[in-house]
Structure formats: C-alpha cells, structure tokens
Amino acid sequence: MTETSIPSRPAPSDALLDVRHLKKYFPIRGGVLSRVVTNVKAVDDVSFSIRRGEVVGLVGESGSGKTTVGRTILRLGEPTSGTIDFDGADISKLSKPAMRRYRKRMQIVFQDPYASLNPREKIRTVLGHALAVHNIGTSADREDRIVAMLEQVGLSGDYLDRFPHEFSGGQRQRIGIARALAVEPDFIVADEPVSALDVSIQAQVVNLLEDLKDKFSLTMLFIAHDLAVVEHISDRVIVMYLGRIMEIAPTRTLYRNPNHPYTKALLSAVPNPDITARKDRIILKGDIPSPINPPSGCVFRTRCPMAIADCAKIVPVPVEVSPGHFSACIRTAPQPSYGQLAAQDMP
C-alpha cells in the first residue's frame, strides 16, 4: 500500500474544500520594541480535503490546533501560508469584500451558543441579521423564512420575540444552528457544537445536525474532543496533535484499526461506558508540550511509547497505509524515503 504514498487528490468537482500546506502562526512579541520573538505554530503544514456532502471529524486535545484550522479555513483568521480551495477557487488570499460572497456559503456553529448570541437581541433580530447581511429575501418574506428555519431546528415560531436567556442550552444551540443555516450555506464548520450540553440534550442536537445535513446536502467539518460523538457523525476523521495531522482515515478504519501511536493512546484513554469491556489502557506519560516550544522531529515523540532516536530528527509525513488511511509516523507508517519528502498531498 505504501507505494501509493503520493495519493491523487479527489477530482476537483468532488472536493468542496481542499486545504494544502496550511500554516497559521501566532507571533509572540517581546522586548521594548515588541519584536516578534517567536511564533506559536498553532497549525503547521496541514493538508486535507472534504468532499461534497461529506462529514469530516477533526479531533485533538488542547493545543492541537483543531479550532484554529476551523477558523482559518473560514478566513476568520489570516493563514500564514498555504492554500484553501473552496469549490475550486483559492480563498486564502481574498480581500474582505471579495470574501463576502463566500461567507454566505460557509458558516460556523460555535460551542457556547450563549456567548455567540447577543443577549439584547430577540431571536427575530438575531436570525434577521444573518439574512439581511447577505441580502437574502425581502424584508417581508424574511420573517417567514425565520419561522421556517426555527421549525427546521425543532423550535416553535412562537419563540421569535424571546431573548437568548429565555432558552435552555440545548435550545440556544438550536438557535445557533438555525442562524448558520438561515443563509443556506454549502459548508458548515461545527466547532464543539455539543460539548457544553448535557448528554440527553447532546443526542438531540447530534441527531438534528445529521438530519439537517441530509436535508440541505451540507458538507461539514465537525470539530470535537469527544471521540464517540465524532465517530457517530463523521464519514472520515482527522487526528491532530500540536498543530500537525497525525492520522486521517475513514471513520470505521480509524476506530477499529488505528495506525498512529497517538491515535491508539487517545482511543484507549476514553472511559468506556461498557462495564464488560476490556480495560487494557495505554496511559501516556507527561503533559502535552506547549505549542510555543514543540518537540523537534515528530511532535508526539516526547509522550510516545514507541519513540526512537530518529523520531527527534525526522518530521514524519503522512503515508498511506491502507486505501484512504494516512498516518504520520516513522515507526508504524514507514516513510517512503526518510527525511527527504516534503509533506505530501493527502485526501
């Protein structure tokens, strides 16, 4: 399988989003002149693509860069370098006005619906704004659209004149979803959309997202730290650690047959609600290093149970270990040619 280590990208018409060599560095300034002392490499050379109608899960722990990836591809932060092709056009360098017509097509659902809804605005206004900004509908039929959207997310049109605080967490997340979908986007970034919700409510919102995805043929990047929720909703999954992609695979492959030592440890760390399940656990030593000063070579090597001396020298590139399954590890996914490759294209 490793012969095909330079996989072809999906046909252009297939991929809605194609991200290549994306980097996002945050400068850290210091000294009296506020010079850039160093960079936090929040996202460091990340490539992936998302096919139309696909749900790709993006998992990682603190400092993995998963949220930065989501925000950067929506151009809510400027990429340091790399390209972001959306529907065939590179949007990574578009000016703000030029970006506007893409904004309607790319929307985000946030973790905390309370922090992302203006507490002084009635639901009518919150959702009306989204439509007005993008010149959707006449002011007369906007209200009909808003009511229809509320009903789509399982809320009643009677809620139009209520304020965000009058809703429960689950209901507020439904409003956040309604707002994102009101402008009829093609692509949604859902950034930890159910993390703040109680389990019984979380299931409702996951089901709602799945229904809406089908109904509106959405393409979705689902960012979360909860591996069980991601397995449930995603077609493929990307695992990140300290700004880099460790592994990408179709969901079932990743969960049943993970290749990367980090993915294995991550999956085994999840507390299992099945009391009869085996409990041989890989417990990683130490803390996640600071992204200000990540380890050389493989960023995971300081906690990796399989690390060898070479891991400090070589930045592993993602290698295809089975069809559509890529892993960046010199131990488990032998590199085609040690050290000489630039990061290769990944699906």
Partner 1 sequence: MSDAFASSSTARTNEPPLLEVEDLQTSFIVGEGQDVRAVDGVSFVVKGGETLAIVGESGSGKSVTSLSIMRLLPKKIGRISRGTIRLRGKDLVSLPEGEMRAIRGNDIGMIFQEPMTSLNPVHTIGTQIAEVVMQHSKLGKKAAHQRAIEMLELVGIPEPVRRASQYPHEMSGGMRQRAMIAMALSCEPSVLIADEPTTALDVTIQAQILDLMRNLQAKMGMAIVFITHDLGVVAEMADRVVVMYAGQVVETGTVAEIFTKPLMPYTSGLMQSIPRMGEYEEKTRLQTIPGYVPLLTKLPGGCRFRTRCAFAEERCAAAEPPLEVLDSGRSVRCVRWRELDLKTKATA
Among 9-17, 41-49, 173-181, 266-274, the segment contacting partner 1 (CB under 8 A)? 266-274
Strands 244-250, 236-241: parallel, antiparallel or unpaired by DSSP?
Answer: antiparallel
Among 33-41, 141-149, 184-192, 263-271, the segment contacting partner 1 (CB under 8 A)? 263-271
Closer Cβ to partner 1, 93 or 279, answer by number:
279
Among 28-36, 70-78, 181-189, 274-282, the segment contacting partner 1 (CB under 8 A)? 274-282
Residue from 14, 61, 184, 345 touching partner 1 (CB under 8 A): that is 61
CB 233, min distance to partner 1, A = 8
Among 133-141, 215-223, 276-284, 331-339, the segment contacting partner 1 (CB under 8 A)? 276-284
67 contributes a contact to partner 1 by CB under 8 A: no
Rg (CA), the chain: 21
Partnered with residue 44 across adjacent β-strands are 23
CB 228, min distance to partner 1, A = 4
The site string for partner 1 over 221-240 (x = CB under 8 A, - otherwise) reads ----xxxxx-xx--------
CB 246, min distance to partner 1, A = 13
Residue from 271, 280, 293, 309 touching partner 1 (CB under 8 A): that is 271
261 and 283 in contact (C-beta within 8 Å)? Answer: no
140 contributes a contact to partner 1 by CB under 8 A: no
Structure tokens at 281: 């656990």
Residue from 33, 283, 309, 342 touching partner 1 (CB under 8 A): that is 283
Structure tokens at 212: 């809406």
171 contributes a contact to partner 1 by CB under 8 A: yes
Between the CA of residue 223 and those of 30, 111, 139, 310, what are the distances in Å? 32, 10, 34, 32
Separation between Cα atoms, residue 239 and residue 262, nearest integer Å: 9
Closer Cβ to partner 1, 140 or 283, answer by number:
283
257 contributes a contact to partner 1 by CB under 8 A: no
Structure tokens at 62: 């603190």
Q: HSE (CB half, 13 Å, CA atoms) of 207?
A: 8
146 contributes a contact to partner 1 by CB under 8 A: no
Strands 81-86, 89-90: parallel, antiparallel or unpaired by DSSP?
Answer: antiparallel
Q: What is the widest separation between alpha-carbon atoms in the chain?
A: 68
CB 170, min distance to partner 1, A = 6
Cβ burial, residue 7 (10 Å; 0-12/13-18/19+): middle
The site string for partner 1 over 202-221 (x = CB under 8 A, - otherwise) reads xxx-xx--x-----------
94 contributes a contact to partner 1 by CB under 8 A: no
287 and 312 in contact (C-beta within 8 Å)? Answer: no
Please, what is the end-to-end C-alpha distance for the chain in angstroms? 15
Residue from 144, 151, 161, 198 touching partner 1 (CB under 8 A): that is 198
CB 281, min distance to partner 1, A = 6
Structure tokens at 146: 């808003």
Separation between Cα atoms, residue 212 and residue 222, nearest integer Å: 14
107 and 86 in contact (C-beta within 8 Å)? Answer: no
Closer Cβ to partner 1, 184 or 231, answer by number:
231
Strands 89-90, 236-241: parallel, antiparallel or unpaired by DSSP?
Answer: unpaired
Closer Cβ to partner 1, 270 or 312, answer by number:
270
Summarize as ranges the residues that interact with partner 1 (CB under 8 A): 61-62, 168-171, 198-204, 206-207, 210, 225-229, 231-232, 255-256, 265-275, 279, 281, 283-284, 287-288, 303
